[in-house]
Amino acid sequence: MIGFIGLGIMGSRMAGRLLAHGHALIVHNRSQEKAEPLLNQGARWAASPKEVAEHADIVFTMLANPKAVETVAIGENGFLDHLAEGSLWVDMSTVDPSFSRRMAQEAGKRKVRFLDAPVAGSKIPAEKGELVFHVGGKAEDLEEVRPLLECMGRAVHHQGEVGSGTAMKIVINLMLAQSMAAFAEAVTLGEALGFDKAHVVDTLLGGATAAPFLRGKRDKIVNGDFEPEFPLEHMQKDLQLVAQTAFEQNVALPLANAGKELYALAKQKGYRGQDFSAIYQFLKDR
Amino acid sequence: MIGFIGLGIMGSRMAGRLLAHGHALIVHNRSQEKAEPLLNQGARWAASPKEVAEHADIVFTMLANPKAVETVAIGENGFLDHLAEGSLWVDMSTVDPSFSRRMAQEAGKRKVRFLDAPVAGSKIPAEKGELVFHVGGKAEDLEEVRPLLECMGRAVHHQGEVGSGTAMKIVINLMLAQSMAAFAEAVTLGEALGFDKAHVVDTLLGGATAAPFLRGKRDKIVNGDFEPEFPLEHMQKDLQLVAQTAFEQNVALPLANAGKELYALAKQKGYRGQDFSAIYQFLKDR
Amino acid sequence: MIGFIGLGIMGSRMAGRLLAHGHALIVHNRSQEKAEPLLNQGARWAASPKEVAEHADIVFTMLANPKAVETVAIGENGFLDHLAEGSLWVDMSTVDPSFSRRMAQEAGKRKVRFLDAPVAGSKIPAEKGELVFHVGGKAEDLEEVRPLLECMGRAVHHQGEVGSGTAMKIVINLMLAQSMAAFAEAVTLGEALGFDKAHVVDTLLGGATAAPFLRGKRDKIVNGDFEPEFPLEHMQKDLQLVAQTAFEQNVALPLANAGKELYALAKQKGYRGQDFSAIYQFLKDR
Amino acid sequence: MIGFIGLGIMGSRMAGRLLAHGHALIVHNRSQEKAEPLLNQGARWAASPKEVAEHADIVFTMLANPKAVETVAIGENGFLDHLAEGSLWVDMSTVDPSFSRRMAQEAGKRKVRFLDAPVAGSKIPAEKGELVFHVGGKAEDLEEVRPLLECMGRAVHHQGEVGSGTAMKIVINLMLAQSMAAFAEAVTLGEALGFDKAHVVDTLLGGATAAPFLRGKRDKIVNGDFEPEFPLEHMQKDLQLVAQTAFEQNVALPLANAGKELYALAKQKGYRGQDFSAIYQFLKDR
Q: What percent of chain B has pLDDT over 90?
A: 99
Residue from B96, B124, B189, B199 to probe the interface with A (highest A Cβ count within 10 Å): B189
**Residue-wise pLDDT tens digits, B260-274:** 999 999 999 999 999
Which residues on adjacent β-strands are paired with residue B135? Answer: B158
Cα D205 to Cα A43, B200, C211: the distances in Å are 70, 48, 10
Beta strand ranges found along D85-189 (DSSP E)? 88-91, 113-116, 119-120, 131-136, 153-160
**Residue A269 to residue C254, Cβ atoms within 8 A:** no
Q: What are phi and psi of D135, to 5 degrees?
A: -115, 135
pLDDT beneath 70, residues of chain D: none
For helices C164-192 and C97-109, what crossing angle results, to 10°?
Answer: 150
Q: Which residues of D touch B269 (CB under 8 A)?
A: 269, 285-286
Banded model confidence at residue A111, pLDDT cuts 50, 70, 90: very high
Phi, psi of A101 (to 5 degrees): -65, -35
Backbone angles phi, psi at D2, to 5 degrees: -100, 130
Residues A284 and C268: their CA atoms lie apart, in Å, by: 9
Q: State the angle between helix axes of A164-192 and B254-266 in degrees (0 to 180), rounded to the nearest 10.
A: 110
Interatomic CA distance for residues A150 and C150, integer angstroms: 81
Give the C-alpha separation, A141 to A162, whole Å.
11
Instruction: Collapse the DSSP code of A227 into the 3-class scheme (helix H, G, I; strand E, B; otherwise coil) and give the result.
Output: coil
Q: B175, A210: Cβ pair inside 8 Å? A: yes
- C-beta of residue B259 within 8 angstroms of C-beta of residue D261: no
Taking all residues of chain A, what is their mean pLDDT, rounded to a whole number? 97
* Residue C116 and residue C166 in contact, taking contact as beta carbons nearer than 8 Å: yes
**Inter-chain touch B254–A258, beta carbons under 8 Å:** yes
d(CA B223, CA B251): 39
Percent helix, strand, coil in chain A, to 5, is 60, 15, 25
Could you give the CA distance from residue C261 to residue C239 in angstroms, rounded to a whole number? 9
Helix (H) or strand (E) holding C154: strand C153-160
The CA-atom distances, in angstroms, between D272 and each of A14, D89, D172, D222 are: 46, 30, 21, 20
Q: Which residues contact A196 (CB under 8 A, 6 or more apart)?
A: none
Optimal mutation site among B242, B261, B267, B269, interface C, most CBs of chain C within 10 A: B261
Q: Please enumerate in sequence order all residues whose Cβ is within 8 A of that of A201, keeping only pairs 6 or more positions apart, or say none.
A: A187, A218, A221, A222
Residue D27, classed as helix, strand or coil, is strand
- Residue A173, CA distances (Å) to B17, B185, B267, C27, D73 in order: 42, 12, 28, 59, 36
Task: Give whole-number Cα distances, D285 to D197, D199, D268, in Å.
Answer: 14, 19, 14
Contact A98/D at CB under 8 A: no
Beta strand B119-120 pairing with B88-91: unpaired
DSSP A84: P
Q: Is C184 helix (H, G, I), strand (E, B) or coil?
A: helix
Residue of B277, B282, B280, B281 lying closest to B266 (CA atoms): B282
Q: Do D270 and B286 touch (CB under 8 A)?
A: yes
Phi and psi dihedrals of C101, rounded to 5? Answer: -65, -35
Q: How many CB atoms lie within 10 A of CB C223?
A: 10
Phi, psi of D282 (to 5 degrees): -60, -45
Q: What angle do CA B269, B183, B125 make, to 5 degrees?
A: 90
Chains with 3 or more CB pairs under 8 A to chain C: A, B, D
Query: What chain A residue is nearest to D263 in terms of C-alpha separation?
Result: A252
- Test A261 with D253 for CB contact under 8 angstroms: yes
* CA–CA distances in Å: residue A220 to residues A181, A189, A238, B172: 14, 18, 21, 20
Greatest Cα pair distance, chain C, in angstroms, is 64
Residues of chain B with Cβ-Cβ distance to A194 below 8 Å are 160, 164, 167
Query: Is the CB of residue D181 less than 8 Å from the CB of residue D239?
Result: no
Write the pLDDT tens digit of every residue in C30-84.
999 999 999 999 999 999 999 999 999 999 999 999 999 999 999 999 999 999 9
Q: Alpha-carbon distance A276 to A260, whole Å?
A: 12
Does the annotation mark D169 as catalytic? yes
Beta-carbon contacts below 8 Å between B and C: 54
Sort A157 into a burial class: Cβ within 10 Å, 0-12 / 13-18 / 19+.
middle
d(CA D275, CA D268): 14
Is the distance from CB of A142 to CB of A135 less than 8 angstroms?
yes
Name the active-site residue from A50, A169, A217, A220.
Answer: A169
Interface test with C, best of D179, D218, D261 (most C CBs within 10 A): D179
Query: Are C218 and C200 in contact, with CB atoms under 8 Å apart?
Result: no
All domains in chain B, ordered by first residue:
2-162 (3.40.50.720), 168-284 (1.10.1040.10)
A86 touches chain C (CB under 8 A): no
Count, residues in chain D: 286
Residues of chain C short of pLDDT 50, as ranges, are none
Q: In D, which residues are within 8 Å of A252 by CB distance? A: 261, 264-265, 267-268
d(CA D219, CA D201): 10
- Burial label for B227, CB within 10 Å (0-12, 13-18, 19+), is exposed
Q: SS3 for chain B, per residue? A: CEEEECCCHHHHHHHHHHHHCCCCEEEECCCHHHHHHHHHCCCEECCCHHHHHHHCCEEEECCCCHHHHHHHHHCCCCCHHHCCCCCEEEECCCCCHHHHHHHHHHHHHCCCEEEECCEECCHHHHHHCCEEEEEECCHHHHHHHHHHHHHHEEEEEEEECCCHHHHHHHHHHHHHHHHHHHHHHHHHHHHHCCCCHHHHHHHHHHCCCCCHHHHHHHHHHHHCCCCCCCEHHHHHHHHHHHHHHHHHHCCCCHHHHHHHHHHHHHHHHHHCCCEHHHHHHHHHCC
Percent of chain B with pLDDT over 70: 100
Catalytic residue among B169, B220, B237, B267: B169
Q: C261 at the B interface (CB within 8 A)? A: yes
Instruction: Determine whether C47 is exposed, middle or buried from the number of CB atoms within 10 Å of its CB (0-12, 13-18, 19+).
Output: exposed
Residues of A in contact with C286 (CB under 8 A): 268-270
pLDDT of residue C202: 98
CA distance B234 to B93: 11
Q: Three-state DSSP class for C271?
A: helix
CA separation for the pair D108, A26 (Å, rounded): 38
ipTM of the modeled complex: 0.95
| Tally of CA atoms within 13 A in the half-sphere of A159 that contains its CB | 32
- Count of other CB atoms within 10 angstroms of residue B31: 7
**CB-side exposure of A120: number of CA atoms within 13 Å?**
27
